[in-house]
Copies of this chain bind each other. A is one copy, B any other.
């Protein structure tokens, strides 16, 4: 399979970590978002939403959206599962994956895309230009802080977000936390359970993907 990716972006990193956990190999095609390569005619043919990641299967099907790609890779290679082993475990993994997306990654994207100079006029991903909204950047940053505390509370009595097993939800949260730290918006410091978890998931070889 072929993966369209960009080293610095959190969404494609979720897929890279997922694939690394499973030992799935792929041909990586780097789309330099900073240089605007996602808007090139050739990439717009791959993904009209002009975002990474996108996965091209060996049959030439292009799959976009992190959750669709990860579910496809899980079917391609079910073991080790990154979704859980029982219906309730799987529900917990999807539940926390959704919470991290909505309360974490999305808030972080709001904070980042609505404040960074290089994204003026491109506050929303995709081919349509939208102006930055400074008040939204501020609100996003506040929500990031709130959600770090929520993660800490959850991890006080669970080894991983979905329970006793590492899942897609941990991958989403790792990419969220590292994005927040790199962008200077927030840090897990001061949240002991979150730090314990972050150290553990960061020590897995997949974290380098």
> Chain A: residues with CB nearer than 8 A to chain B?
49, 57, 59, 61, 63-69, 71-72, 75-76, 87-88, 90-92, 94-95, 97-99, 103, 106, 123-124, 126, 128, 130-131, 133, 135-136, 139, 142-143, 146
**Chain A at the B interface: SS class:** helix
The one of B87, B128, B143 in contact with A124, judged by C-beta atoms closer than 8 angstroms, is: B143
Alpha-carbon distance between A66 and B88 when the two chains are bound, in angstroms? 14
Instruction: Tell me the minimal C-beta distance from A56 to chain B in angstroms.
Output: 12
Q: Which residue of B lies closest to A87 (CB)?
A: B75
Copies in the complex: 2
Instruction: Tell me the minimal C-beta distance from A135 to chain B in angstroms.
Output: 5
**Contacts A135-B135, A139-B130; A68 near B49 (Cβ below 8 A):** no
Q: Which residue of B lies closest to A71 (CB)?
A: B94
Q: Is the CB of A87 within 8 A of B76?
A: yes
Alpha-carbon distance between A59 and B88 when the two chains are bound, in angstroms? 10
**Contacts A72-B88, A87-B75, A130-B142; A95 near B135 (Cβ below 8 A):** no
Q: Which residue of B lies closest to A106 (CB)?
A: B106
Q: Is the CB of B136 within 8 A of A65?
A: no
